[in-house]
Every structure is written in C-alpha cells, then in structure tokens.
A and B are shown apart, each in its own frame.
Chain A
Amino acid sequence: MHIVVPLRQSPDLVEELQINAEATDIDRQAAKLGISEWDEQALEEALCLKDGSGAKVTVVTAEGGQAEELLFTALAKGADRALKLAGDFSAPMDNHRLARALADAIGRLGANLVLTGVQSVEDLDGQVAVLLAAMLGWPHVSVVTRVELAGETAQVKQEHSGGVSAELEVRLPAVIGVQAARRTPRYAPVSKVRQAQKSAKLERLAVATDGRSGLRVRRVFKPEAAAQAEMIQGTPEEIAAKLVAILSERGLSR
C-alpha cells in the first residue's frame, strides 16, 4: 500500500498579508509560508494508516519556500520518502496548475491512495483534490474524517452538515480530501527534525506544470470596510438606553 500525501505551502495568517506591487497576488516574499493545516491532517491520517497496516507514505511538495522544512518535518513524523517537485511554480499558482503537477508526480510515483487536505486557505472551495482525481481518472471523496483500508477498497467516513456523517466505500486507487485526521496531528520533536535534516535525503522530481484554468487574476485587494462598528460605552443603564434608541431609530424594535 503506497500513500502519497501532497503538502501545500500556504501563507501564515497570523502575519499580516501584503499585496504585491502588481496587485495580482499576495506578496509571497513577505509572507511566512507553512504547511496547510488540512494537509497536516491528511498526513496524520496517512501516518495512522501506516502505523496500523504498514503502508508506505510518500510526501511531495513544490520546491522553494519552506519546502525542505515541511518535508523534513514529515520525515521526522514517520513519512518514508520525501520529494521536492521541480517545475514552474511561480505565482500565481492556481489549482489547475497545481493539480496538473501533482497528477504528473503521482503518475510517475505510482500510488494506491492519495490523501490531501480537503482545502487550503488559498483553495477554500476545495478544488485541488477534485481536479487531481479527475486528471488521474480515479474516484474521489471529500470532507473525510477517517480512512480505513480494506483490501481493494477503502472505507471512509465523510462529514456532512448538521452533525451527520456518512460511511462510504471507495475503490482504490482513489484521491481523498481529508477534513480531519482521527487524532490530533502528532508532534515532531525538533531533535528528530534536525536528525532528519542530517541523515535523510530529499529527492527531486521534475513535473509538468502546464495546467491551465483559463482564468486570469485581474486584481487582488484587501476587503474594503463596508461600515463602521460603533462601540457603545457607559454604565449598563446608559448602554441599554442607547441600544433602545438605535433600534427604534432604525425601525428594528416594536
């Protein structure tokens, strides 16, 4: 059983994002990149499968940025093989181009299962896994919270709205978009990451990055403030009086 986990580097939202001079993308030089949190969940689920049934786990990520740190951390956590994907990953990197590159990599690496984050902060509509499955011609399930392997198939638990879950069976090979792993992602001690940096080798794989979405980014901009919030201050009585006044002024109270 070979599981491939593509890791996407996404900007750290703790830091304030800047927009580049051309207003076509965020300023990726200034942004702090890190593993997309959903990919971290996908990796954890893959490692849980490895712990349970001895699957082999390969992680891949686009070259550049924090690629090495991401891959060494994954190795420290227990991944077996780590590859940097080489190609034209220059911005803007849309989901189609990324999926194309991943499909190419997975085609060459061979895999029984691809686990990837259901979305990322730059793919909130969760397209990458879907596109990847389509390009590979494999079945796909998204918003998954647990994967169990059963020979030629996988049993997956899919999360629906309103606290409802479904159990699905999917034929392998398949692409699965992971919402959450069965457990909190494991912690990689810094000493182990440093050990991996010293002893493990990262491979490099040239991939096709000629995917096209047919879309062109016209402008990237920060959300514009639509209205101001007013903070009401004073004693509880004064605040209550002001609230009543505002509500009746706007015809919101009866």
Chain B
Amino acid sequence: MTVGVRVDRETFRNFSSAEVALFYALACVALAVFAYGVFLKLRKYRRGRFERRFDNLPARLARALAVVASSTGVAKRDALAGVLHGALLWGFVALFIGTTIVFIDDDLLRLVHPAWRFWHGAFYLWFKLLLNLFGFAFLAGVAAMWLRRKLFGLPQLDYARVDRPAGEYDRSAYVRGDALFLGLFLAIAATGFLVEGLRIAADRPAFEVWSVVGWRLADALQAAGLPHHSSSQLHFYVWWVHALLALAFVAYIPFSKASHMVTALATLVFADADAGRRLPRAVAGSEHLGVKKLADLSWKNLLELDACTKCGRCHMACPARASGAPLSPRDLILDLREYADASWARPALEQPRFLGRDAAPQPEAALAGGVIRSDTLWACTTCRACVAVCPVGIEHVPLIVGLRRSLIEDGEVDRRLGEAFESLARRGNSFGQSEKLRGRWTRGLPFAVKDARKEPVEFLWFVGDYASYNPRVQEVSRALARVFWRAGLDFGIAYDGERNAGNDVRRCGEEGLFELLAEHNVQMLAQCRFREMVTTDPHSFNTLKNEYPDFGATYAVSHYTQVLVRLAEQGKLRLKAPLGKRATYHDPCYLGRYNGVYDAPRRLIGWLGLDLVEMPRSRQNSFCCGAGGGRIWMDESNVRERPSENRIKEAVALGGVDYFVVACPKDVTMYEDAVKTSGNEGKIRVRDIAELVEEALAQDGPA
C-alpha cells in the first residue's frame, strides 16, 4: 500500500455538522423506542410467576450458545433452513460486531483519547474483508430464506388454523410481519453494499480492493455507466436510506419477530433439560394447581411465548395436528402470546383479529377453556415431538399439562376419562377390573412368578396396567416372563400391590390422583427387596425413573428391552436361528424421545437376525401412536385420521416389511387395531419385541 495514504474511511462522508447531528438525534430516538420495547417485555416477564432456573448459569449459557452458534436448532427436520439460518446469523453477528467496533472507535475513542483509535491501516483492511464476506453471507442467507418462503409453499408457513374455519380469523398481520422482517434485512444488507460500492466508485481508494464485494459492485456500477459525480451524490442519499432502515430496525426489534435474537437465546439458556419428562409438583401453598390465569404463567413461560418465530416445526411434527384434532402447538403458543401482549404489553404488533362469531378473548379470561379451548388441550398426546423439534427451546408439554391441571380443577373431564380416573382411584387400574386380578395373567405359565413383596428378587418387574389386564398384551407379558425364566433371571412381580404408576394420569393434569398412586407404589415398593426394577411400559418407566425421586424414591429402572439386550449380550439367551425377516421399529415416545433409549431395541432386533428398515420418522422424530398423555382413555371422535393409522401407512410404504416391531404395551393394541382399520391386514404384522425374542430362543428352560 502507498505510504502516506491514510487507510480508513470517513464515517460521515461529505456531511454538514447539522446532518451529523440529525443522524445522532434519530439514533437516540431509535434507541429510546428500542428501550421502551425492552421495558414492556421485562415488565411483562416480571408479572409472571417466579420460577427458579438459575443453576449452573455458565453451563446453561455455553449449551445455549452452542445451539445458537451451530444453528442446529433450526436444522432440525430441515437441514437447508439450518444452513441458511447459520449464514445469516453469522453474517448478522459479524455486522453487529463491526458496527460496534466502528462505534467504539469513532464515537467513544474519538472523544476519549483519539490516539487509541485503531480502525485504520491493516486492521481496517482485514475488517473490510471479513465484513464483506460475512455481509455477503448475511445477504445470501436472507435472500435464500425469502426464496424458500416464496417458492416452496411450505405448509408450516401457511398460518391456517386447525381449530377455526378460514373466515373466522385474520392472520395477515403475521404475513406482513414476516415480510417486514425479511424485507428490512434484505434492504439493509443491499443498501449497505450499495453505499460501499458508490463510495468506492466515487473515490476509488486503491486499498478498498479488500472490500471484495463493494469493489466489484463499484466496478459493476461504473460498467453500467454511472458517472463519477453521480456516485458521489447518490452515496449521500443511499447512506441515509441505509441509516434510516438500520435505525428503524433497531426500534422495531422488541416489537417483532426480530426479538427472537435475544428471547430465543434466553429461552435456550433457561431451558429445562427435563421438560415434560419430570413435571413440576404442585407449588405448596398456592391456591390452585394449574395454570388458570395469565399470572399463573411463569416468567419463563412468557419468555418462551416471545421466542416463537412461527417456524411451524411443531405444527408439522404434532400427531394431534396431523390427525385433524384442533391442536397445533404453534397456535397454542401464539394464542397465549397474543393474549399476554394484549393484556400486559401494549402496544404490540401482530395482534390477532377474530372475525365473525368469536370475539377476541376478554381480559382476565381463563386460559384453559377460555383463551385455549379445552378440546385443544385434551388433544395433546404429550409425545414431546414439539419440545424436541423446537429450535428455540419452547417447552410446550409442561405448559399444556399445567393448563390441563386447571381444567381438572374445574372438573372439566370427558366422561370416559372420568371413568378411568375413578377406576384408577378405586382399583389402581384403568380397566375397571378388580385389583386382585392384576397378577392373574401369570396363570398358565410353566412356573410360579415370585411375589416380590414376600421374597427378595434381583429384578422387580413393574408390569403396568396394559400388560396386566389387556388380554392381548397379557400374551406378551407371558412371553416376556418365559424369556426371563429361560434366561435364568431372578425376578418377581408385586401382584395386587402394584397400582398404575401414574405417568399418564399426571399428564392428564390429575395431579392429586397421580400423588395418590405414586404414594401407594412408593410405600408398597419400600416393602419389597430388589436390586433393579424392570418395566414393560415405557410410560411407567418414565415416571418411575424420573418422577418418583420427587417422592423420595429412587430406583435403578430399566425398560425390558434394555434387560433383554443385556441378557442376550451376556450369552444368557441363545438364538435358535436368525429370524431373517424384514422389520421396522417404532420408537415409543416415552422410551425414545423422553428417555433416549434408541439403541437397546435396535441391538435386540439386530441380535434376532432381523433386517431393520427405518421409517422416515424414527428415533428423535418418531411419530406418536396417539395413545399417550391419557388420550387412550378419551373420546377419539374429533380425529380425522388416527395417528396410529398414519404410522402404519408409513411402515407399509417402506415396501416388503414383514414386522412392525413395538416395545410398548399400548403400541401392541394401538397398532394391531390400526393395521385392521387402515386395511393393511396381511401386509404387515405387529410384533412385540418380547414375542420375537421368545420365538427365536433356542433354550426351553433355564440353563
């Protein structure tokens, strides 16, 4: 570079002092509006219930930053969106850092100690190169996101509601909000490069060749015949357009989708890794258990509502939504946000407009059954797909259960569900059968199953309702018992001492009944001597493992697939011959997504000599059978296509799959029904993994 040439640029090129003053005045206005918006939000969060989420802050921050930095959240079920979001995110971060550097150098150091200024020379050149590259990434990312929206017609970005006919609401504010957000980004990025290009075209400082995009743009402008003096003049105007857009954006952030840049990060920082897996107990001394009014939402809930970007991943993943039920996790969150903003944080952009019969919700309305319809809340299967897929860490399931608790307190319970509850309270099972018959399924086994209340056992088998009472699943229980016996496993059951573990009761929001069941089981299990617990039901598995510790009872709990794979790998199970069929495996929500047990069943399937073909939605993305969260006890009449039928179709579409392998008692009944009702009898067979193991075993009795 030429000695004597100062390598930097003037911030206010050819500006009068009045113009500079005008810019700073406008910047102050923008910052004031921004600050007011932030104040509205903080005031809203402060009105929420207090909740403690401040443990391990450094670790929380590190985890959240890792998710944000890698855009892995956005990449869930949409790798392209992840890449594009990564580009624009890093572009934005770099531009933000760049602007901050200029602010420090030009606005602070200039006043404080001009000799410390550093934004010139080699630093300036590297700065220019990097910001040009990142700026280009930003522009390209935003432009590609725009095209994705315009061209792909993605159903998750169509804001149609599932609970109201088209004429009854108006969500055009959402569409305008999205357009404004993307449009502002595009315009700011484009005018930013244009300002640079025009300046370079006008002044041609040789060192600006480091501004790789701006330089080429200047070349293009000149090639297009833009005269030198016009560039200089135009620079002034475009500078102002760019500045005004950027300031408008600053003011707009807290009132718009743009606020997710902060709220999403905060939500991820304060996320609960156990969300939904371990539900909160009732707060001692509180007047009611559930989320009744807006003030029952915690600051974290309110923050989550603001973090939603309407990306629609939950909307697509939700089995209730897919079945035609009036629930979309996205709309639940948006409805609550709009209501919270209308009540506590006006002025807010993107307010709902309910047309026709339904008026906008009244202030102080009940959330459950008011702002959110009760049939919407009852439609949830608590499969946790929404929580798992959400890029910004929204915890829908505990929120829905909180709202259900409020419905239960108001006695708003479907007739069938009420009958199930009464039977569970009275007899400890949902089948309306005598508790004395719980161990009856063991009759007909070639050996006596130990009563774990009377003699010590190595494994206490917590059998669960379906495996104990449902005639079809009883066969599976007997198969599993015979497999355990042949493997020489020392196991027993608690017979009529056992009650439903309460996992789904709790997820219905019937917290009192859950406590009743849990307290009984904890007391009963304290009388038994065992080393480890094994469950048939992934639902029981979840609550015994994750929630009973809150009742002072911590057990080593395994799912039967985990025990079987251990026995197989220890050589205690011997294979007669590989089964040699094609099989697909359905991950039960409460085993896979809830507890991360994906591999044990797959290893067993491999050990059995089955050829495993994965369905498109597997592991983390597994599609719920529709029975969870107490749905198995409820009316199904509002369902267009049962989730289980949808799932069977997915498996049949793989082509030539013999077995639909399951590892959950409810799945046996759900999918055997679904195979029939979807007209796929003879095409695919539902097999519990325990039955397959028994079929493949070489040994007839304990070795």
Contact = CB atoms under 8 A, between A and B. Distances in A.
Contacts of A193: 512
A14 B510 contact: no
B415 A190 contact: no
Contacts of A12: 426
A161 interface: no
Mostly, the B contact residues are helix
B512 A16 contact: no
Contacts of A189: 408-409, 411, 510, 512-513
B411 A191 contact: no
A1 B434 CA distance: 40
B374 to A, nearest CB: 13
B390 interface: no
Contact of B427 (A14, A16, A185, A191): A14
Contacts of A186: 411, 413
Contacts of B513: 189-190
A231 to B, nearest CB: 17
A32 B496 CA distance: 15
A76 to B, nearest CB: 9
Contacts of B432: 14
Nearest to A32: B426
Interface in B414-441: 415, 417-418, 421-422, 425-427, 432-434, 436
B421 A187 contact: yes
Contacts of A16: 434
Nearest to A193: B512
B411 A187 contact: yes
B418 A194 contact: no
Contact of A191 (B289, B418, B422, B434): B289
Contacts of A14: 427, 432-434
A190 B411 contact: no
A200 to B, nearest CB: 16
Interface in A159-217: 184-194
Contact of A15 (B289, B413, B434, B511): B434
Contact of B512 (A15, A32, A77, A191): A191
B409 A15 contact: no
A34 B432 CA distance: 14
Most buried by B among A186, A191, A192: A191
A191 B415 contact: no
Nearest to A40: B422
A195 to B, nearest CB: 9
Contact of A190 (B418, B433, B512): B512
B434 A34 contact: no
A251 to B, nearest CB: 38
A32 B511 CA distance: 25
A184 B411 CA distance: 11
B54 to A, nearest CB: 29
B515 A34 contact: no
Nearest to A189: B408
B512 A194 contact: yes
A12 B421 CA distance: 16
A77 to B, nearest CB: 7
Contacts of A191: 282, 289, 409, 511-512, 515
A77 B411 contact: yes
Nearest to B410: A189
A34 B434 CA distance: 14
A15 B515 CA distance: 25
B577 interface: no
A188 B411 contact: yes
A188 B417 CA distance: 12
B279 to A, nearest CB: 14
B516 interface: yes
Most buried by B among A12, A16, A187: A187
Given A14-B427, A184-B418, A190 B436 contact: no
Interface in B447-470: none
A77 B418 CA distance: 13
A14 to B, nearest CB: 5
Nearest to B424: A190
Contacts of A192: 409, 512
Contacts of B516: 190
Interface string A67-87: 000000000010000000000
A187 B422 CA distance: 8
A228 to B, nearest CB: 22
Contacts of B409: 189, 191-192
Contacts of A187: 408, 411, 413, 417-418, 421-422
Interface string A112-125: 00000000000000
Most buried by B among A188, A190, A194: A190
Most buried by A among B411, B422, B425: B411
Contacts of A77: 411
Contacts of A184: 415, 418
B337 to A, nearest CB: 29
A188 to B, nearest CB: 7
Contact of B425 (A32, A185, A190): A190
A114 to B, nearest CB: 24
A205 B242 CA distance: 85
Contact of A34 (B411, B413, B415, B426): B426
Nearest to A12: B426
Given A14-B427, A34-B426, A184-B418, A190 B434 contact: no
B510 A190 contact: yes
Nearest to A186: B411
Contacts of B436: 15
Contacts of B427: 14
A229 B425 CA distance: 36
Nearest to A34: B426
Contacts of B418: 184-185, 187
Nearest to B511: A191
A62 to B, nearest CB: 20
A149 to B, nearest CB: 22
A14 B513 CA distance: 21
Given A14-B432, A77-B411, A190 B426 contact: no
Interface in A29-69: 32, 34
A188 B411 CA distance: 6
Contacts of B417: 187
Contacts of B510: 189-190
A193 B434 CA distance: 23
B513 to A, nearest CB: 4
Contacts of A15: 434, 436
A190 B413 contact: no
A205 B422 CA distance: 29
A77 B432 CA distance: 22
Nearest to B288: A191
A191 B505 CA distance: 13
A77 B436 CA distance: 29
Contact of B515 (A32, A185, A188, A190): A190
A205 B319 CA distance: 55
Contacts of B511: 191
A189 B508 CA distance: 11
Contacts of A194: 512
Contacts of A190: 425, 510, 512-513, 515-516
Interface in A10-30: 12, 14-16
Nearest to B413: A187
A22 B364 CA distance: 63
A30 to B, nearest CB: 11
B401 to A, nearest CB: 14
Give the top 6 A-B pairs by smallest Cβ distance, nearest first. Answer: A190-B512, A191-B512, A187-B413, A187-B418, A190-B513, A184-B415
Given A14-B434, A77-B411, A187-B418, 5 more contacts: A187-B413, A189-B411, A191-B515, A192-B512, A194-B512
24 contacts: A12-B426, A14-B427, A14-B432, A14-B433, A14-B434, A15-B434, A15-B436, A184-B418, A185-B418, A186-B411, A187-B417, A187-B418, A187-B422, A188-B411, A189-B408, A189-B510, A189-B512, A189-B513, A190-B510, A190-B513, A191-B409, A191-B511, A191-B515, A194-B512
